[in-house]
Amino acid sequence: MQAYHKLSAKAFGDDFLWGVAISAQQNEGAYNLYGRGLSIWDTFARRQGKIKGAAKPYVNCDFYHRYKDDLLLAKALGFNTFRFSISWSRILPDGIGKANKEGIAFYNKVIDECLKLDLVPFVTLYHWDLPQALEKEGGWTSYRMLKWFTRFTTVCAEEFGDRVKHWIVLNEPMGFTSLGYMLGKHAPGKIGLSNFLPAVHNAVLCQAEGGRILRDLVPHAHIGTSFSCSEIVPYSDKPEDVQAAKRMDILMNRLLIEPALGRGYPQDDFKFLEKLELHNKAWKYKERMTFNFDFIGLQNYFPLVIKYNGIIPIVQASEVKASTRKVPYTAMGWEVNGESFYRLIKRFWLYGSVKEIIISESGAAFKDEVVNGEINDVQRIAYFQEYLSALQKAKQEGVNVKGYLAWTLTDNFEWAEGFKARFGLVHTDTNTQLRTIKNSGYWFRDFLQK
C-alpha cells in the first residue's frame, strides 16, 4: 500500500500513544510462585497434543523477574506506552475471596516502574487466563461469571486505579469464547454451542459491567475494551458465497461490539442468534450489555476470504487460505493486507457511537534467524510500514485514532502455537532468556525519533 503522505510518527500528533503490548499468561512465568493460583492455560498445556512442541507456559519470558529490563527495552525503543495484563489468579488465587498481597505488590512495582520511566501503564483486566478454580465451577459458561468478574475488577480498580488511568476490560472476547468454548483449540478446551452461547453472553455482560466499575472507582479513567476483527471478503459473487461471508462477518466483527453500543445482538441478520437471545434470556439484559466506552480497541491481524461450505454446521462457511491465493502472508499463514486494515478501521468508525479508536494490538509472526548476532527481519519491518501507512491515511481522513500498540515486545508463549510463532520486536532465547533486539525494533526506534 502506498502511504497517503510520507509515513511519519509526527503526523499522528504529540499525544499519540505509541506502545508495545504483552500479556500476563504469555510473558510472566512464575506460574506457581508467590501465591499465584493455576490458570486454565496452566492446566490446558498439560493435555497431550494441545500445544505445539509440547510447550508449557510456566517460565515464558520470565517477565515476573525481568520486568525492569523489559520496560527499559520498551523505553529504549522509543515507546511511550506499555500495555500489560493482570493475572486474575495472581491477584485472586481462588478466583474469588482473599486477595494475594504478593500479586498486588508485583503489579504495583510494574506500574511504578512504568511511571518512573515515563511509560504510560495501559492495563488489560482479562487476557484469557481465567483461574482454574473458577473453570471447575463452569468458567465463562457459569451464571456466576458476572459476580466473579465484578470482584476481580473491583480489586484491580481499588489497588491500581490511583496510578493506572488507561484500561482495557476484555481482550478479544470472540477469540477466547470461540476457540476456548466452542472449538476446543484453546483453554479450557470445551466444545459445542451449549458452551459457546453462554460464554458469549457472559463476556458481553462482563465487558459492560467492568466499564461501569472502573468508571465508578477510578477518577479520570480512560476506559475501553478490545475486539479482534477481520475484513470478510466473499470468494466469489455467487449468492451462497456472499451470504456465507455475511454470516462470518456477524460472528467475527459484530457479535460482541454491537451489544456494547446499545444495539443488542445482530440476530435480525443471522437467525441462528435468536438461540443466543432465548438461551440467555438476553432481552432482559440489553441495558446491562451497554456501556459508553471512551475508546474501542481494534486488533486486526488478517482479512479472511470466505466461501460457502454446507458441511460446516450453522455458519456454513470456510476460509480460502492465503497460501492458495498468491498473496503475501506471515509464518502463521495470515494474509498481509494494509488496504484491508484501512477499510476495517473506517468501517468501525462509521458506527458513529465509537468515540475513539486505539489499535490495541498489531503485528506479525515471521521466521527469524540470528546471523552473527543480528536479526534482519525485513518482512516484519515491511509489515509495520504498510500497516502504519494505512493507519496514517485513516487518521488523516478524520478517524479519531489515538494509539498504536505493537504486538509484541518480546517473543513469548503464543497460545496453542507454543514458542513456534514469534511476533516480538525483541528475540527471546527461551533457554537462556537472552534478549536480542531485532532490526524491526531498531526500525521502530528510528521511526519514533523522526
Give catalytic residues, as residue numbers.
172, 361
Cell numbers found for residue 329: 502472508
Cell numbers found for residue 158: 481499588
**CA atoms of 189 and 179, how far apart (whole Å):** 8
CA 282 to chain centre: 25
Alpha-carbon torsion 112, 93, 416, 373, what sign? positive
The angle, 0 to 180 degrees and rounded to 10, between the axes of the packed helices 193-217 and 173-181 is 150
Residues 6+ apart with CB under 8 A from 209: 146, 149, 150, 153, 288, 291
**CA atoms of 260 and 205, how far apart (whole Å):** 9
Q: Are 113 and 154 a contacting pair, CB within 8 Å?
A: no
| Amino acid at site 94 | D
- Closest alpha carbon to 411 in 401, 400, 422: 422
Quickly count: other Cβ atoms within 10 Å of residue 43's Cβ. 15
Phi and psi at 437, nearest 5°, equal -65, 130
The angle, 0 to 180 degrees and rounded to 10, between the axes of the packed helices 145-160 and 101-116 is 50
Quickly count: other Cβ atoms within 10 Å of residue 269's Cβ. 12
Reply yes or no: is the peptide bond before residue 188 cis, omega within 30 of 0.
yes
